Amino acid sequence: MKNILANWNFMRALRLIMGVIIIIQGVQQKEFMYAFAGMLLSGMAIANIGCCGVGGCNMPTRKMDKEIINKEITYEEIH
């Protein structure tokens, strides 16, 4: 319940508004696949999840050794 009421931002509100609009249009036009897509979009906004899940798109950072960073690169000319 805390997740539903907290951390609202512009994109989350936009997803909810667009989802509700898609649901309304889908029901009015009797296109229930669109209404279902609107429910999915609204549900994602309400639950604050995305396609990758919560934080699923984050890449782990790799720490590099200072020796590797400061190592001079040598090139060899090939004839």
pLDDT tens per residue across span 12-29: 889 999 999 999 999 999
Residue 54 pLDDT? 55
What domain range includes position 40? 2-70
Number of folded domains that form the chain: 1
75 within some domain: no
Question: Angle, to 10 degrees, between the axis of helix 10-28 and the axis of helix 32-47?
Answer: 160
Query: Which pTM was predicted?
Result: 0.61
Asked whether residue 63 is assigned to any structural domain, the reply reads: yes
Domain presence at residue 33: yes
Residue whose structure tokens are 């995305």? 50
33-72 pLDDT, tens digit per residue, is 999 999 999 998 888 877 665 555 666 666 655 666 667 7
3-state SS, one letter per residue, for 19-60: HHHHHHHHHHCCCHHHHHHHHHHHHHHHHCCCCCCCCCCCCC
